[in-house]
A and B are shown apart, each in its own frame.
Chain A
Amino acid sequence: MENNEKKYNVSISLNEFKVLKYIYEHSNDARRLAESEVSIPDMEKIQIGSSISWLESKNLISVYRKEESYFSLSEEGSEFLKAGLPEEKIYEHCASKGSFLIGELAEHFGEKDLRVALAQLSKYGIKPDHGKIAFERNEDIEKDILNKKIFLENLSKGNEVRDKEMLERFKKRSGVIIEKKRTVREISITPSGVEALSQYSESGQIEEITSGIISSGVWKEKKFRDYDLTSQVESRTGSFLHPLTLLTSEIKKIFVGMGFTEMPGHYIEYSGWNMDALFIPQDHPARDMQDTFFLKSQKKPVFEHPEVLKILKKVHESGIKGYRGWEYEWSEAKAMDLLLRTHTTVSTIRYLYEHPEPPVAVFSVDKVFRHESVDWKHLAELNQIEGAYYGKDANLSTLKWLMTEFYGRLGFSKLKFIPSYYPYTEPSMDVVAYLDGKEVELGGSGVFRPEVTEPLGLKGRVIAWGLGLERLAMLYYGLDDVRKIYQSDIEWLRTYSVVNH
């Protein structure tokens, strides 16, 4: 382990090797090497700079930084270099003809250039006389102007200033060159650097593995350079199933594994099945306009198994043997109200009516609708997870076992059962789980009332439990706003992970 780390510490790329070698050969204890002095064929300045940074980060070289001033061309200076210095332009213009009127020159070159040019030319002894300027060509003047241009050109290329005298002259002349500050690096090799160098074979290590490397057989002779495995890479964009889909199939697997069959269902239901068949009285608050989405349509769907309507009337009005019923006048019209189903229990009871021979174990994970205002905690449509078991031994005790098993497989190991109330179950229980020391309400459950099961011809008891999928998804994916599930950020869909369980 220790050995590996050491090896990793001195791992260097080919470029780094070249730079390190150059530094080793060109510097000594007494003399540090300036970065600008490092010159390696086939390496750009910028590559050298980057290698120096890497070598420093690996402690193979010592880098000293100091502030340095340097000069560069101003905008005007660059213009002079391109179009010629003003004194040069006027010199050339006049020299060709011998003499010119100042006014004429001003018109041709502009007041500003003329003024600069006259100031400079006066240093060569050329001065206007009686509004005229006249002179002979002079080799010294032309040479001096050329030197000025060479100086400016060097400066523009970032070369080191050699002509100190010319620098002084331009420093005095305003606006052509600008003084700037920069940090320069001076480098010396460290003992680890020397060691790294000795370990590196100059014949090179294999960098990126390419088809050329494989087919040429180069890999037989060379070593693979160790990579820095911690370096950052740009993540690839993938595409995935929606988080709810994943969670849903997880839940389906649990149910199927426990022997449950998935049942069909639909969103649009009649109140008769959604409410009355579950012994929810017609004046129950759940049937108020504030709690359920009611629908209107010219096209009426088929009322499945219409023979139950008669049964429902009797049960609601006068109950069954031993049970007094709701003691009111039941309205068939109300049973024919269309709505968006408020629970999937409607599918359960209809499925059992169609399959009255016990045992039957069914489940569904499907959408239900609630007349809620949508906010961070509430949705108007959500998926209900529902499981039901119809059998001779369906009772509170087996209900507890089924829920313990189901929630256990979902990852909730510690549960609490508390009494609750639902109009179609008696007894009714709510389930609370402990998650990170906090109590989390999971869902409801209960034994179907005999007024629900007996009249529909069921011969045993039915136990059922349910919970909201989105609530669970919030726990699983650590969401703080339930709307994000349906109004999602694509980045989340591309990167989500499970935070609990």
Chain B
Amino acid sequence: MVVIRENISDLKRRFGDNAPDELIWFSGIIGFSIDVSSDAVKIELNPDRPDLYSFSTMFDAIRIFKNPESLSVMAFKPPAISLHVSEKALGLRRYILCFWANGSTLGDRFNEIIDYQEKLHQTIGKNRSKFAIGIHDLRKLKTPFRYISAGLNDISFTTYDEKVTGTPGDILNNHELGKEFRHLIPDVNYVPLILDSNDNVLSMPPIVNGNASKISEMTSDLFIDITGNDWPSTRSAYYLLANYLGSVGFKLHRVEQDGGYKKELLAYNDRKVFIPRAEAENVLGTRLTDTETMGALKRMGYIVEKNPRGFSVFVKGSRIDVMGAVDVIEDIGKAYGYDNIASRKPQLSTVGSASKESEWKENIRDLLVGFGLQEIQTFFLSPSSYYQGVSYSGDVEVLNPKSLEYSIPRDRLIFGMLDFFKLNKRRKLPQETFEIGKVVIHMNEKTHLCIGITNSKAGFSEIKRIVDPFLSRLNIQRADIAQTSCYGFIQGRTGSLSVDGKEIGIIGEIHPALLEKFELTNPVAMAELNLDAIIQ
């Protein structure tokens, strides 16, 4: 989720007094959540629409929705400026995409474009690992520009924030951004640089911009560079920034360059997606008239041509979420309104049934409740403290536990039940409970049943007098019991249960040493059975 916010007063000044209401209305169409308080508006957006991560682009989309005729294509017009791209620089960062734009001074939008750039870095740029954006004041620079690879001591410049002046090596070592992002440069001896004709450093991507091209509220001519190694996301950033500047009235211009891009860059903008009429109808389950469909598409910012079999839609480069026809069909549905789509009963010709497993589990639960046992449910992920000094038979480890409290996929149910008794220490006795749940044993998932009783007296016979009749209810006439030893149980009062030579579980009295671990002072007797083995 990406969050954008603005003060109410600034929002109304920039976009009109109705701005908060318009946003609330538009949220129902696009599907974002909005929180309007007395002094601010906060919007949380889904990750699919980075083109809406600023109020300027959001209100541009609202404007087009309300007045589709005002839609203009995103076009890069002459004159172009040129950029020479060196092969060596491309070895450090494979792609460099640039454009320039001019308009009125940035003013208010200065902060917004910085914020938008940062949002793109964080989200689709994965904290600059996929691309880095540089925004420069073109008027301070002399064209043409060069994208080169430089040695660590080749040149000296001042960073945009004037914190460090020195060679690329000095900046990598001393500037906070150098320390944070130097690992993104694959070569330890060379860095990529963008220079103007006077050898001013525009930027040292993906680390930092130079001070020579620094922008301010007064900037009106911008040069944008996006460098990266991941083609789709670098391309996305290129069009998203162009779209942002277009939405605030800047004119866009191309940069002629001799490398560092793919030819399909141009084709990505206004790319054609064909929407078969039948497919739109089949996905939405609703037949719209051509006029309705075309109206919906235009409101969502598409240029549309009607064909005999459907619609050719031209998609802006900034709509990076559109991968094919269904993405556009969804927009038809959104513009038409999900609430306006009729609800229709499907031809459900299937016969329903619960799974065998859930049926026998249900029967067993009913049986146990019949024996007077209370069902409980506890967590599958157990605290690591349960397993200190215990041999764990799960054979699996959580690589990234969030906390030690929930870190071990349980291999038995008794610990969770003892913890339950601990929680309910001050409650009325006796407490007689059962749990059916999954455990992992040697990386196999098994369904276990745990039965436990605690009382001022709770011994082997108390638990056996439940387990015996329980097993006979499952038509197990004879379960053999043999002395065994098991962690946490009292030796000599613990048996392993087996049927036809196959072990099905354990039954016995809990050892005071384990009770102490769970701060219990009343005796506990328990049985833990492998239901998978019993049900087979």
Cross-chain contact of B283 among A256, A267, A427 (Cβ < 8 A):
A427
* B348 cross-chain contacts in A, Cβ below 8 A: 258-259, 359, 361, 389, 391
**Interface membership of A264, Cβ < 8 A:** yes
Cross-chain contact of A263 among B355, B377, B380 (Cβ < 8 A):
B355
**Interface membership of B509, Cβ < 8 A:** no
| Complex: chain A residue closest to B333, CB-CB | A427
Q: CA separation between A378 and B84, bound complex, in Å?
A: 54
In A157-214, the 8 Å CB interface with B consists of none
* A398 cross-chain contacts in B, Cβ below 8 A: 285, 344-346
* B372 cross-chain contacts in A, Cβ below 8 A: 239
Given the contacts A261-B352, A359-B350, A486 and B46 also touching, CB distance less than 8 Å:
no
**Interface membership of A113, Cβ < 8 A:** no
**Interface membership of A81, Cβ < 8 A:** no
Cβ–Cβ contact A486 & B377, under 8 A? yes
**Interface membership of A450, Cβ < 8 A:** yes
**Interface membership of A376, Cβ < 8 A:** no
Q: In angstroms, how far is the closest chain A Cβ from the Cβ of B400? A: 5
**Interface membership of B373, Cβ < 8 A:** yes
**Interface membership of A298, Cβ < 8 A:** yes
User: 1/0 per residue A284-305: CB within 8 Å of B?
Assistant: 0100010001111111110000
**Interface membership of B376, Cβ < 8 A:** yes
Known pairs A239-B369, A398-B346, A419-B330 / 12 extra A-B pairs, C-beta < 8 Å: A249-B362, A252-B358, A283-B126, A293-B400, A323-B324, A372-B402, A400-B343, A416-B339, A418-B28, A420-B46, A426-B330, A486-B377
Residue contacts A-B, CB under 8 angstroms, 23 given = A239-B373, A240-B374, A242-B375, A256-B352, A257-B352, A267-B380, A267-B445, A268-B440, A295-B397, A299-B442, A301-B443, A361-B350, A371-B400, A373-B403, A380-B406, A395-B285, A396-B284, A396-B333, A447-B283, A488-B423, A490-B374, A490-B376, A490-B420
Cβ–Cβ contact A264 & B357, under 8 A? yes
Q: CA separation between A394 and B285, bound complex, in Å?
A: 8
| Complex: chain A residue closest to B377, CB-CB | A242
Interface core residue of B323, B373, B433, B440 (most chain A CB under 10 Å): B323
User: 1/0 per residue A224-258: CB within 8 Å of B?
Assistant: 00000000000001011110110001001001111
* A338 cross-chain contacts in B, Cβ below 8 A: 396
Cβ–Cβ contact B403 & A374, under 8 A? yes
Cβ–Cβ contact A427 & B286, under 8 A? no
* B375 cross-chain contacts in A, Cβ below 8 A: 239-242, 245, 493
Q: CA separation between A399 and B377, bound complex, in Å?
A: 33
**Interface membership of B282, Cβ < 8 A:** yes
Q: In angstroms, how far is the closest chain A Cβ from the Cβ of B85? A: 22
Cβ–Cβ contact B443 & A268, under 8 A? yes
Cβ–Cβ contact B424 & A490, under 8 A? yes
**Interface membership of A79, Cβ < 8 A:** no
**Interface membership of A393, Cβ < 8 A:** yes
* B345 cross-chain contacts in A, Cβ below 8 A: 398, 401
**Interface membership of B25, Cβ < 8 A:** no
In A387-430, the 8 Å CB interface with B consists of 389, 391-402, 404, 416-421, 426-430
**Interface membership of B144, Cβ < 8 A:** no
User: 1/0 per residue B427-457: CB within 8 Å of A?
Assistant: 1100111000010101101000000000000
Q: Which of A20-28, A63-71, A129-137, A324-332 faces chain B?
A: A324-332
Q: In angstroms, how far is the closest chain A Cβ from the Cβ of B371? A: 8
**Interface membership of B378, Cβ < 8 A:** yes
Q: CA separation between A399 and B333, bound complex, in Å?
A: 13
**Interface membership of A260, Cβ < 8 A:** yes
Q: CA separation between A326 and B350, bound complex, in Å?
A: 35
Q: CA separation between A374 and B402, bound complex, in Å?
A: 9
**Interface membership of B19, Cβ < 8 A:** no
Cβ–Cβ contact B443 & A450, under 8 A? no
Q: In angstroms, how far is the closest chain A Cβ from the Cβ of B443? A: 4
**Interface membership of B184, Cβ < 8 A:** no
Given the contacts A259-B351, A360-B350, A419-B31, A239 and B406 also touching, CB distance less than 8 Å:
no
Q: CA separation between A299 and B440, bound complex, in Å?
A: 12
Q: In angstroms, how far is the closest chain A Cβ from the Cβ of B236? A: 10
| Complex: chain B residue closest to A450, CB-CB | B326
**Interface membership of B69, Cβ < 8 A:** no
Chain B residues with a Cβ closer than 8 Å to the other chain, count: 87
Cβ–Cβ contact A256 & B341, under 8 A? no
Q: In angstroms, how far is the closest chain B Cβ from the Cβ of A341? A: 11
Q: CA separation between A319 and B327, bound complex, in Å?
A: 14
**Interface membership of A487, Cβ < 8 A:** yes
Cβ–Cβ contact B406 & A491, under 8 A? no
Cβ–Cβ contact A381 & B380, under 8 A? yes
* B440 cross-chain contacts in A, Cβ below 8 A: 267-268
User: 1/0 per residue B386-412: CB within 8 Å of A?
Assistant: 000000000111111111011001000
* B18 cross-chain contacts in A, Cβ below 8 A: none
Cβ–Cβ contact A396 & B352, under 8 A? no
Q: CA separation between A359 and B400, bound complex, in Å?
A: 40
In B313-349, the 8 Å CB interface with A consists of 323-327, 329-330, 333-334, 338-339, 341-349
Cross-chain contact of A449 among B326, B357, B395, B438 (Cβ < 8 A):
B326
**Interface membership of B176, Cβ < 8 A:** no
Cβ–Cβ contact A421 & B399, under 8 A? no
Chain A residues with a Cβ closer than 8 Å to the other chain, count: 94
**Interface membership of A2, Cβ < 8 A:** no
User: 1/0 per residue B124-158: CB within 8 Å of A?
Assistant: 00100000000000000000000000000000000
Cross-chain contact of B374 among A367, A374, A493 (Cβ < 8 A):
A493
Cross-chain contact of A429 among B49, B338, B354 (Cβ < 8 A):
B338
Cβ–Cβ contact B231 & A327, under 8 A? yes
Cβ–Cβ contact A293 & B401, under 8 A? yes
Given the contacts A327-B232, A421-B31, A396 and B350 also touching, CB distance less than 8 Å:
no
**Interface membership of B230, Cβ < 8 A:** yes
User: 1/0 per residue A473-501: CB within 8 Å of B?
Assistant: 00000000000011111110110000000
**Interface membership of A262, Cβ < 8 A:** yes
**Interface membership of B353, Cβ < 8 A:** yes
**Interface membership of B79, Cβ < 8 A:** no
* B403 cross-chain contacts in A, Cβ below 8 A: 373-374
Cβ–Cβ contact B30 & A419, under 8 A? yes
Cβ–Cβ contact B230 & A396, under 8 A? no
**Interface membership of A334, Cβ < 8 A:** no
**Interface membership of A266, Cβ < 8 A:** yes
| Shortest 9 CB-CB contacts between residues of A and residues of B | A397-B285, A419-B31, A395-B285, A323-B324, A421-B46, A427-B330, A398-B346, A256-B352, A299-B443
Cβ–Cβ contact B420 & A488, under 8 A? yes
| Complex: chain B residue closest to A398, CB-CB | B346
Q: CA separation between A289 and B126, bound complex, in Å?
A: 14
| Complex: chain B residue closest to A326, CB-CB | B232
* B333 cross-chain contacts in A, Cβ below 8 A: 396, 419, 427
| Complex: chain A residue closest to B46, CB-CB | A421
Cβ–Cβ contact A359 & B380, under 8 A? no
Q: CA separation between A286 and B313, bound complex, in Å?
A: 31
Q: CA separation between A450 and B354, bound complex, in Å?
A: 29
* B329 cross-chain contacts in A, Cβ below 8 A: 426-427
**Interface membership of B62, Cβ < 8 A:** no
Cβ–Cβ contact A397 & B341, under 8 A? yes
Cβ–Cβ contact B353 & A261, under 8 A? yes
User: 1/0 per residue A332-351: CB within 8 Å of B?
Assistant: 00000010100000000000
Q: In angstroms, how far is the closest chain B Cβ from the Cβ of A319? A: 7
Cross-chain contact of A252 among B48, B354, B395, B420 (Cβ < 8 A):
B354
**Interface membership of A471, Cβ < 8 A:** no
Q: CA separation between A394 and B323, bound complex, in Å?
A: 21
| Complex: chain A residue closest to B416, CB-CB | A486
Q: CA separation between A416 and B381, bound complex, in Å?
A: 35
Q: In angstroms, how far is the closest chain B Cβ from the Cβ of A418? A: 5
Given the contacts A244-B377, A259-B351, A327-B232, A295 and B399 also touching, CB distance less than 8 Å:
yes
**Interface membership of A125, Cβ < 8 A:** no
Q: CA separation between A395 and B280, bound complex, in Å?
A: 10
* A242 cross-chain contacts in B, Cβ below 8 A: 375-377
* B431 cross-chain contacts in A, Cβ below 8 A: 490
**Interface membership of A41, Cβ < 8 A:** no
**Interface membership of B469, Cβ < 8 A:** no
